[in-house]
């Protein structure tokens, strides 16, 4: 029985040019969006609840501050303002912790999903297999992320210095940013796909990306931009609804502190934004997955040689 088009395997180990990488990325997303979203929701449940709590704390603190400042002309609200600042501080701290944990998880889940897709020649595999691959490499992933954080600190220091160089500094900063995104993404696939050590994976990723600098930078820039546009489109509907509600609040001078409804609406809106930010991180890793397979095949021709050997074996038979 012939497979349906959306189940047809998209071969990843192919030496693709710039345009083909972009086309393949969108084909891969269309084919795997539903299944990966199911995996994303399955293993992020507790973190999504955490993001909802964070959103509530931030919104409650923000609305409380606005209400307290509005009433400060009539009563002393200094104590209330301190309480709301604590809400916002706790919310911000929790967000930082949850975001780092979620980043590690989803950076890994996206890469593990793509590796299983390549090894199984399609998406007919169980989500537990993706989770098992993540658990198997958890120690190496943790060390990788620690080094990645240190590297980002170095990047921010360099970026700060480049701010003081007009035009050229901005250009170099953007090139450096997209090169680093490509390097980290490709290196992570070297870690999981090739079972390399952390330092060895960073070295292999550096070699692959440096040898294909403009392709790596261009793919991350273009697809990163397109992903950003897609995510903005997704946010359009909740954005419009919240915008209309905010207009209603301003026009009718609604007392935000007098009802729970504004807190609920703005909490849900903030939570949706945070979840979409996290999901967008997964999409960025798919970009570098397709880039990794293209660069690896260009450098080593493993898939091409394997096909030639298979043809030779058939001829000899």
Residue 2 has pLDDT above 50, yes or no: no
Give, to the nearest 10 degrees, the angle between helix 78-119 and helix 261-300: 30
* Two structure tokens written together for 257: 């502190």
pLDDT for the residue 5? 45
With CA atoms as reference, report the closest residue to 107 among 315, 287, 293: 287
| Lowest pLDDT segment from 134-143, 193-202, 304-313 | 304-313
pLDDT band with cut points at 50, 70 and 90 for residue 253: low
pLDDT for the residue 216? 94
With CA atoms as reference, report the closest residue to 155 among 173, 134, 133: 173
Burial of 139 from C-beta contacts in 10 A (0-12 / 13-18 / 19+) = exposed
pLDDT for the residue 25? 94
Residue 50 has pLDDT above 90, yes or no: no
pLDDT for the residue 169? 85
**Of 222 and 3, more confident:** 222
pLDDT for the residue 75? 46
Can you give the C-alpha Rg of the chain in angstroms? Answer: 24
With CA atoms as reference, report the closest residue to 70 among 84, 56, 87, 89: 84
Task: Tell me the whole-structure pTM to 2 decimals.
Answer: 0.86
Residue 148 has pLDDT above 60, yes or no: yes
Element (H, E) at 249: helix 236-251
- How far apart are alpha carbons 286 and 112 in whole angstroms? 10
**Of 260 and 258, more confident:** 260
pLDDT for the residue 220? 93
Q: What angle do CA 36, 188, 149 make, to 5 degrees?
A: 105
Residue 311 has pLDDT above 80, yes or no: no
- How far apart are alpha carbons 250 and 169 in whole angstroms? 42
- How far apart are alpha carbons 161 and 141 in whole angstroms? 30
- 88-142 tens-digit pLDDT: 888 889 888 888 888 788 889 999 999 999 999 999 899 999 999 999 988 999 8
- How far apart are alpha carbons 59 and 97 in whole angstroms? 18
Query: Is the Cβ–Cβ distance between 23 and 14 less than 8 Å?
Result: no
pLDDT for the residue 14? 93
In this prediction, residues 272-280 reach a mean pLDDT of 83
Q: How far is CA 75 from CA 17, 64, 67, 254, in A?
A: 67, 15, 12, 19
In this prediction, residues 198-211 reach a mean pLDDT of 95
With CA atoms as reference, report the closest residue to 298 among 217, 211, 199: 211
Residue 64 has pLDDT above 90, yes or no: no
- How far apart are alpha carbons 100 and 165 in whole angstroms? 31
In this prediction, residues 134-153 reach a mean pLDDT of 90
pLDDT for the residue 4? 44
* Two structure tokens written together for 220: 């991350």
DSSP 52-106: HHHHHHHHHHHHHHHHHHHHTTTS--HHHHHHHHHHHHHHHHHHHHHHHHHHHHH
pLDDT band with cut points at 50, 70 and 90 for residue 162: confident
pLDDT for the residue 67? 72
The chain-wide mean pLDDT, for the chain, equals 84
Query: Is the Cβ–Cβ distance between 22 and 92 less than 8 Å?
Result: no
């Amino acid at each position: 029985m012939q497979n349906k088009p959306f189940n047809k395997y998209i071969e990843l180990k192919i030496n693709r040019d710039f345009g083909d990488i972009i086309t393949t990325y969108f084909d891969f997303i269309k084919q795997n969006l539903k299944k990966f979203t199911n995996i994303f929701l399955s293993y992020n449940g507790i973190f999504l609840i955490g993001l909802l709590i964070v959103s509530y704390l931030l919104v409650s603190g923000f609305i409380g501050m606005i209400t307290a400042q509005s009433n400060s002309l009539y009563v002393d609200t200094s104590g209330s303002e301190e309480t709301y600042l604590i809400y916002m501080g706790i919310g911000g701290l929790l967000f930082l912790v949850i975001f780092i944990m979620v980043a590690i998880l989803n950076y890994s889940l996206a890469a593990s999903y793509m590796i299983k897709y390549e090894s199984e020649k399609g998406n007919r595999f169980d989500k537990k297999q993706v989770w098992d691959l993540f658990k198997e490499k958890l120690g190496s992933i943790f060390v990788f992320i620690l080094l990645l954080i240190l590297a980002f600190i170095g990047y921010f220091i360099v970026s700060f210095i480049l701010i003081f160089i007009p035009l050229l500094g901005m250009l170099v900063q953007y090139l450096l940013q997209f090169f680093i995104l490509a390097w980290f993404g490709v290196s992570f696939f070297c870690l999981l796909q090739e079972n390399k050590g952390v330092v060895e994976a960073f070295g292999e990723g550096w070699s692959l990306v440096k040898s294909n600098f403009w392709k790596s930078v261009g793919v991350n820039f273009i697809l990163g931009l397109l992903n950003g546009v897609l995510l903005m489109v997704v946010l359009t509907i909740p954005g419009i609804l919240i915008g209309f509600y905010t207009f209603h609040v301003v026009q009718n001078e609604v007392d935000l502190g007098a009802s729970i409804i504004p807190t609920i609406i703005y909490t849900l809106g903030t939570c949706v934004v945070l979840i979409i930010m996290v999901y967008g991180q997964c999409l960025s890793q798919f970009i570098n997955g397709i880039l990794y397979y293209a660069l690896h095949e260009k450098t080593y021709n493993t898939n091409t040689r394997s096909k030639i050997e298979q043809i030779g074996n058939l001829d000899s038979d």
